[in-house]
Amino acid sequence: MLRITQGQITSLIILTLLVQIYVFAPAVMAEHVGQHLWLPLLLAIIAAVILMKMMLWIVEQFPGKSFPAVLHYLFGEFCGGVLGISYFVYFFVLFIIHAQMIVTTFKVLFLPATPMISILLLVLLLCLYCSLLGIEVLARASNMIVILLAVTLTFLALSVFPEVDLSYYQPVLPSQAKGFAYSTIVAFASYGQVFLIATLVPFVNYKNERRKHRKIFAGVVFALLLTSFIVMEEIGVFSPFELQRLQYPTVELITMIQMGEFMERMEIFLVTIWAGAILLVSGIFFSVSVKTFKQALNRNKNGKILDVILIIVGFICIVTLLPDTSSLLLFIFDQWVYWCLLFQVIFPILILITFIIRVKVRNHAAN
Amino acid sequence: MWRKRKKKQAPEKQFASRFTTKDQTISHKVQTNLDYLSSNYLTNTDDFVFFPLEEKFGVAYIETLANDKKVKQILNYLRKAVAKEETSMLEQLPFSYKKETSFKHVIQALTRGNFAVFVSNSKEAIIIDILDIKERAIEEPAAEATIKGPREGFTESFQTNISLIRKRIFSHRLKVEKKKAGTISQTEIVLMYLDGVASEEIINEIKKRLSRIELDAVQSSNQIQSFIKDHSYAIVPLVGSSERPDKIAANIMEGKIAILVDGSPFVLYGPISMFSLLQAPDDYYDSMYIATLLRMIRFAALFVTLLLPSLYIALTTFHQEMIPTALALSIAAGRETVPFPALIETLFMEIIFEFLREAGLRLPKAIGNTISIVGALVIGDAAVRAGFVSPLVIIIVSITAISSFIIPNYSLGVSFRILRFVFIFLSASFGFFGIVWGLLGLYLYLSSLRSFGYPYLAPHAPLFPKGLNDTIFRFPLFQQARYQKFTVDQPSLKRFPSKLNPGKKYRKKDD
């Protein structure tokens, strides 16, 4: 089996963190906490870093074992299998969200006359192709895409920085705690996707690769800070009240960039780069979900039928459950952000406790 | 039951390459041997010459393969031996020779340009090499011309080609391994590599792949290529090919392996990456600034070749608001009389241009110029005047065509020409989304490819920062001491002791 490097894992994680939070979340968060958006973002960053460290530590105790195999080891065949399947659902839903996010964004902003299903089919085809190529190829490809996206976002952040009105951040400290919990959950629903690291680390060539925790840590923190900075900038550029009314605040932010008189509007170019990145992220989530499903069921054959079946299931789910932007927003912010707590907080804590009891305590007792 | 029946009825597969040559031991009678040759193996072969010499010797050769001078010398020597009645003279032949005892080997030797001598009362035939095949002189390769580089190019003779490489690498470490491919053609294939530098794993893998080739005849190196590349259906070239000895020698020095095929002036080499196909020999004969600029231009040309027509279609069909107002008005004015959508007019011009390009290639040079005039005036100007296409499409197709000629590797250029049509359809259906979808798909596809195990997009995907000093940017040569990752046996091996700035030392002396 081909293996990936620690650097490639860092790229994959950074990429997943760089594509989502600034799309819909700023408007929802601004609605709840106004200009004090920085506080939920900070809390979410801290929680995400802790989650990443925790999962990295646990998974590295089982070199060469896949994440579902670790779950089987810790929780037994049945409970481990159920937990593995539930994480398959988690990654599958993330794939659906990302796929539909790009479809609705392009449909609403640039392709109003094109049938949604045709765009969706194109996205799903690419995700299927990603899954057939395998995580190793995606890891290889992610290096350059992450550089391109990081440069684009940095360019965006720096270009619109002069437009920031600092008075929109006043007062800096909140006077009441209302809405903070929800906003933190919303931010953490995006940043908590760092959990993906638990399924990626087993792909690392642990025999030849040295652990590079500092690089992974630095990369994750950079991604979290960069996206937070963009979200914060949106407050400074639009004001909290205006931001609440924008469906695609980051696209609006891009329209503020003026490259002389000739290049009047360049949002399509930057959105196109984002589209490439989110397409790859959708592919990553789909590949990981398929892998998790196969590993949870101990099916290690390289069959392609399951991939095709899951893509068809994804297509049906999107068309029936999340057919447009409003249903997608409703699902993400009314249901999914809470479900994320289960996968990104409760289950990881459960895994940690079980790991400490089963492995550490038993080993200690045995010695 | 049906399956069983079908299996029974299926005729036995026959391949011309598996025809066996009947073997027979050589007779002690000269005339019998000559008759056997002419009646069994070389019937209807008018250039086969055979005759007895005073019943003592029988000679046979194929005159179209033979060197006339050598034939005369051998015949004179044999006549002298007959006159002196000394068969022992045959043991002291002043030519290099070998002996064969079976007709199978004699016939193989004859068809490869040897001279056979049958001796009375002997069951052995003497085989003397008299091969003389006319080959063209060493010329500058037309498709890979340089400004400052050497003017030599490979020829169709593999021996000449080996010597052209050898004269650039005078080292015992340069290994030359020969083997034959093509059961009928028996074409010589030569593997050249630098021992101790080239990866043993890759050498063995190439040998294994070469040994698996089952062909009746190998006509060109491209045939070999399709049998040995990692992905049989890859649209892009996965094995390098060049007519330039300096390029092949440089690649061998970098730890790559060259494959020479007799009869083909194109020498294969690998492993390669896509970025190496965008490099030209002149990059190394000029300063790093010029080389870097030229590589950037080529890289840009690659994207223009692939995307310019599709960008035009996407912008004019889906994203008109993105076009600056002044330009949008100009485009609208140009398209006012055009009755077709952007897709049709672009496709029309692209296809016409492909026709012109193919016609220009096939026609003699003198008429080729006429074709370009017809293309430029009649198709271009007249099409615009007739309102078939807008002037901007003519400009776009022309720029695309010029860009495609900038790509140094012909095969890569053709691959991107094919892919361009895919992008045209994608952009016509989905605008920029289609383009980015196609680009990501292509990027993933290229990332998945390997050339003899070496990642095709390396050192960019996967990213090896240390290998980036000779891809789009060309760093000074003294900083390129490292070999490419994976291509050499020992990762720590260096080409020479690298220095950050070798000139600095002398400057200090002057001070």
d(CA B238, CA B219) in angstroms, rounded, equals: 20
Comparing CB atoms, the residue among B327, B435, B462 nearest residue A143 is B462
The pLDDT of residue B482 is 75
B507 Cβ neighbours under 8 A, 6+ residues apart: none
Q: CA–CA distance from A198 to each of A51, A62, B13 (Å)?
A: 10, 11, 54
B494 Cβ neighbours under 8 A, 6+ residues apart: B481, B482, B483
Comparing CB atoms, the residue among B434, B440, B461 nearest residue A140 is B461
d(CA A58, CA A66) in angstroms, rounded, equals: 12
A137 Cβ neighbours under 8 A, 6+ residues apart: A130, B444, B447, B448
| Element housing A171 (H / E) | none
pLDDT digits (tens, 9 = 90+) for A182-232: 999 999 999 999 999 999 988 887 777 777 788 899 999 999 999 999 999
Comparing CB atoms, the residue among A110, A123, A275 nearest residue B318 is A110
d(CA B13, CA B25) in angstroms, rounded, equals: 30
Q: How many residues does chain A have?
A: 367
Q: CA–CA distance from B302 to each of A2, A57, A352, B53, B308 (Å)?
A: 30, 45, 51, 67, 10
Residue A351 tokens read as 């895994």
The pLDDT of residue B14 is 61
| Element housing B181 (H / E) | strand B174-181
For residue B204, the distance in angstroms to the closest alpha carbon of chain A comes to: 20
- Is residue A106 within 8 A of residue A268, CB to CB? The reply is no
Count CB atoms within 10 A of the CB of residue B32. 13
d(CA A222, CA A202) in angstroms, rounded, equals: 23
The pLDDT of residue B1 is 45
β-strands B57-62, B48-53 pairing: antiparallel
Which amino acid is residue A348, in one-letter code? P
Q: At B191, phi and psi to the nearest 5?
A: -105, 125
d(CA A255, CA A250) in angstroms, rounded, equals: 9
Comparing CB atoms, the residue among B324, B441, B462 nearest residue A140 is B462
Residue B317 tokens read as 């069909």
d(CA B153, CA B467) in angstroms, rounded, equals: 29
- Is residue B84 within 8 A of residue B94, CB to CB? The reply is no
The pLDDT of residue B252 is 93
Contacts of A126 in chain B (CB under 8 A): 437, 440-441
Q: Is B57 helix (H, G, I), strand (E, B) or coil?
A: strand
Q: What is the pLDDT along chain B (511 residues), one digit of tens a residue?
A: 455 555 555 566 666 555 556 677 888 888 898 988 888 888 888 899 999 988 788 999 998 888 889 999 999 988 888 887 766 777 777 888 888 888 888 988 898 889 999 988 888 899 998 888 888 888 888 888 888 888 899 999 999 999 999 999 998 889 999 998 888 888 999 999 998 889 898 999 999 999 888 888 888 888 898 889 999 899 999 999 999 999 999 999 989 999 999 999 999 998 999 999 998 888 888 888 999 999 999 999 999 999 999 999 999 998 888 888 888 888 888 888 888 899 999 999 999 888 888 888 787 777 777 777 777 777 778 888 888 888 899 999 999 999 998 999 999 999 999 999 999 999 999 999 999 999 999 999 999 999 998 899 988 888 888 788 888 888 887 777 777 776 777 766 777 776 667 776 555 544 4
Q: How many residues does chain B have?
A: 511
Q: What are the mean pLDDT values of chain A's consecutive 10-residue runs (367 residues total)? A: 80 94 92 90 95 92 89 91 94 96 91 93 96 93 94 93 89 81 94 94 78 88 95 92 90 82 73 92 96 86 86 96 92 94 95 88 74
Searching chain B, which residue's CA lies closest to the CA of residue A259?
B324
For residue A271, the distance in angstroms to the closest alpha carbon of chain B comes to: 9
Searching chain B, which residue's CA lies closest to the CA of residue A119?
B430
Q: What is this model's ipTM?
A: 0.93
The pLDDT of residue B10 is 58
Q: Could you tell me if B466 lies within 8 Å of chain A, comparing CB atoms?
A: no
pLDDT digits (tens, 9 = 90+) for A238-251: 998 999 999 889 98
Residue that has been written with the tokens 């469906």 in this structure: A247
Which residues, listed in sequence order, are joined to residue B474 by a DSSP beta bridge? B470
* Of the candidates B330, B471, B345, B434, the residue with the CA atom closest to the CA atom of residue B396: B345
Residue A190 tokens read as 């995006």
For residue A177, the distance in angstroms to the closest alpha carbon of chain B comes to: 42
DSSP 8-state secondary structure symbol assigned to residue A266: -
Asked whether the beta carbons of residue B463 and residue A144 sit closer than 8 angstroms, the reply is: yes
Which amino acid is residue B139, in one-letter code? E
Q: Where are the alpha helices (DSSP H) in B259-364?
A: 288-317, 325-335, 342-362
* Of the candidates A255, A114, A116, A273, the residue with the CA atom closest to the CA atom of residue B322: A255
Helices and strands in chain A, H and E counts: 17, 0
The pLDDT of residue B505 is 59
Residue A87 tokens read as 């994480």
The pLDDT of residue B312 is 94
Asked whether the beta carbons of residue A266 and residue B322 sit closer than 8 angstroms, the reply is: yes
The pLDDT of residue B511 is 44
Residue B287 tokens read as 């300063």
Query: Which sequence spans correspond to the domains of chain A?
Result: 6-327
Q: What is the CATH number that goes with domain A6-327?
A: 1.20.1740.10
User: pTM, whole model, 2 decimals?
Assistant: 0.89
